[in-house]
Structure 1
Amino acid sequence: MHRAVLPGILAMAAIVVASNILVQFLFGQWLTWGAFTYPLAFLVTDVMNRVYGPRTARKVVFAGFVTGVICSFVGTQISGEFGPLVTLRIALASGTAFLTAQVLDIVIFDRLREGRWWRAPVVSTLIGSSVDTALFFTVAFSASLTVLEPANDVGWANEALPLLGVGPVVPLWASLAVADWCVKLALALAALIPFRLIVRRMTAQIA
């Protein structure tokens, strides 16, 4: 079983590290490059869940969580133009969102594993991704939660602007959240192809 867990742990750790690095680089007005790598964590979790079961998937998620904590700690020690690259609120938001969403993904996937092959990964990832986005952006940037870190000025994230530049006026962080959520949903559907191929190959190797 240790050999079975290792590839999943390494893949999850690589995704978490890459996402923590790429989130510093903008992609357009509403996204960062990290938005395109982070959703792959759900693919890894679902593959491990399908092939080895929820217990193994939880081990992989925990390894990803620990990796994320380490990345956050390193980020707090590096100063950028506006202070530490990672604030307490961002670290708390990141860890809470990741662990909650991934565990929820595992539970939902396991409940639906007996249905059509695509049902479990689609439903679990869509719900998990939605929870992840809502938790992260709310905890990290909402003005109503400044009590979490009073010294951290998140005024820039609460600037009132049209949603994605065209919709109703909302805080900037809401536009960032919606854009991130849309990418997660698109990648959840695109990931069905590699999910199917990887599961088939791993299952064949086990057999």
Structure 2
Amino acid sequence: MLKTRYLLIYVALMTLVVVASNFLVQFPLNAMVAGINLADILTWGAFTYPIAFLITDLTNRQFGPQTARKVVFAGFVVGVGLSFYTAVPRIAIASGSAYLAGQLLDIAVFNRLRRQAWWRAPLVGSLIGSALDTIIFFSFAFAAFFVFFGANEPFALESAPILGILSMEAPRWISWALGDFTVKMLVGLVMLLPYGALMNTLRPMQATAAR
């Protein structure tokens, strides 16, 4: 019963994060910092999605990789399904593909490193998973090559200086991807704080050998 209760909480949190991120990624961060228009490099989704890796890592630590995969798949089915009502279909497709690939990679990396320093598995797993997630999501969601997934957002294809500061120009979604990953790395570091704080509370409840 205790395991079931925890799993329901993890699935609910994962669903909330996925749906919120799919909705927020459609909105650039309209603010100016040091003369840089953040709308050219960031969307609000970059700040919420890294929490998904925290949820996956806590599940992996407490119940092992097999259960973590179940939470990921449950979050995929429920979260991405709901995202078709909160985001355009192309965003939902891109999110689902990136989510599965990134989260499953995070689980594999975490499990390989789980017996090393406490911070290494969650940090390395989330960073590598975030890199793959970012590449897949922004390519599927905005690149002209993947237009068969659905209509594109014209604003995303407009040329702009990369990251708003470089002389070289590229479609705006390239800067979004680079800015998104930069934020994910920073948030990934911040997520070590709640992970470390919960380690003693959410102790492993079964053998967590690689499976």
TM over 0.5: yes
1:132-171 equivalence runs, <5 A: 132-149=133-150, 152-167=151-166, 168-171=168-171
Q: What's the counterpart of residue 86 of structure 1?
A: 88
Tell me the residue number matched to 1:10.
Answer: 12
Distance 1:205 1:146, change over 3 A: closer
Name the counterpart of 1:81.
none
Separation of aligned partners in 1, 2:205 and 2:107: 23
CA contact (8 A) 2:23 2:45 kept: yes
Distance 1:204 1:159, change over 3 A: closer
Structure 2 residue runs of 5 or longer lacking an equivalent are 31-38, 207-211
* Deviation of the 1:24 alpha carbon: 4.3
Identify the residue that residue 113 of structure 2 maps to in structure 1. 112
Counterpart secondary structure, 2:173: helix
Alpha-carbon distance in 2 for matches of 1:140, 1:37: 18
Report the 3-state secondary structure (helix = DSSP H, G, I; strand = E; otherwise coil) of the residue aligned with 1:200.
coil
2:180 maps to what in 1? Answer: 180
Tell me if the contact between 1:20 and 1:71 (Cα under 8 Å) persists in the aligned partners.
no
After superposition, residues 126-137 of structure 1 pair within 5 angstroms as 126-137=127-138
Q: TM-score, normalised by structure 1?
A: 0.86
Cα contact 2:18–2:80 (8 A) shared by 1: no
> What percentage of residue pairs aligned between the two structures are identical?
48
Q: Are the counterparts in 1 of residues 22 and 91 from structure 2 also a CA contact under 8 Å?
A: no
Aligned counterpart, 2:125: 124
**Against the structure 1 CA distance between its residues 192 and 22, is the aligned structure 2 distance closer, same or farther, given a 3 Å change threshold?**
same
Q: Shift of the alpha carbon at 1:133?
A: 0.5
Unaligned runs of 5+ in 1: 76-84
How many residue pairs get matched? Answer: 194
Residue aligned with 2:199, SS = helix
**Bigger shift: residues 177-186 or 193-202:** 193-202
Using the TM superposition, give the Cα deviation of residue 205 of structure 1 relative to its aligned residue in structure 2, in angstroms: 9.3
Matched, 1:199 2:185: no
Task: Find the partner of 2:42 among 11, 31, 39.
Answer: 31
Show the counterpart of 1:80: none
Write the letter of the residue equivalent to 2:147: T
The whole-number CA distance in structure 1 between the counterparts of 2:152 and 2:69 is 35
Structure having greater relative contact order (Cα 8 Å, sep ≥ 6): 2
Does structure 2 retain, via aligned residues, the 8 Å contact 1:143–1:155? no
Cα distance in 2, alignment partners of residues 54 and 38 from structure 1: 20
Deviations 1:51-85 (A, max 9, x none): 2111111111112111222223213xxxxxxxxx4
